[in-house]
Amino acid sequence: MFSSITAAAPVIIDCPKCRKQVWSVTNEGIESDGRTIADDGDTIRMRMPHPLTAWTQIDQLLLVGTCHHCGQRYWYAEAAYPSVPVANWTIGTPQFNFDEQGGLSFSRVNGTFHGTDQLPGGGTWYVVRYNASWQGAEIIIDQHIVGLHVNGKSMIGGNGVSSCGGNAAIWSSAAKLVEMITPKAVAFLAESRAAS
């Protein structure tokens, strides 16, 4: 289901239009030559699958970026899963992210993985695992990124990327992607916790 990404074999993420490299995922996280990988995004409004009661506070986003080679707008979905329930937080910028009470902090990347399952509509699936702390306890947060897909331009309206606007079919596709990966993401996290 997931294979480790090593320093010798990074995963190259290509633009879905021109097929030139947009960024790569190494064993230390996302490498993008100092460029942003997303220009804007918003929360994917969706009901999470039933057995996810303990993970109801995960953050799921639809993000839009721009290829720096051809200018194509692309979109991808991102979802994060903590090893324990964590309240009131978003992915944001992990190394500077705190919840409203200042209780959640990310320290470092603790491995990256490539999802080997075929995704609907194609695209890549990878995971960046962070060591983090929540209320004084050490936890793990897995950040899953699935995409890239064209038609990102159709997601940008007068208020940027907004869950109340843009292409409804793409919002639905993003929600379905998160629904599809969630059981596997939670199982992967549970296996990792059991092995440690």
Q: pLDDT tens across 97-130, in order?
A: 444 444 556 666 788 888 877 787 777 888 988 8
**Helices and strands in the chain, H and E counts:** 1, 12
Is the pLDDT score of 2 beyond 70? yes
Q: How many domains does the chain have?
A: 1
- 184: nearest Cα among 46, 49, 56: 49
- Per-residue pLDDT band at 9 (split at 50, 70, 90): confident
* Distance, CA of 67 to CA of 171 (rounded, Å): 21
**Structural domain boundaries, residue 54:** 2-195
One-letter identity of residue 39: D
Provide the whole-model pTM.
0.83
> What's the pLDDT tens digit per position in 130-151?
887 777 778 888 889 998 888 8
For the chain, first and last CA: distance in Å? 19
Which residue, 11, 8, 3, is CA-closest to 29? 11
Per residue in 21-49, pLDDT (tens digit) is 998 888 888 888 778 888 888 888 776 65
Q: Which amino acid is it at 6?
A: T
State yes or no: pLDDT of 184 exceeds 90.
Answer: no
| Whole-number pLDDT of residue 136 | 74
The SS3 call for residue 189 is helix
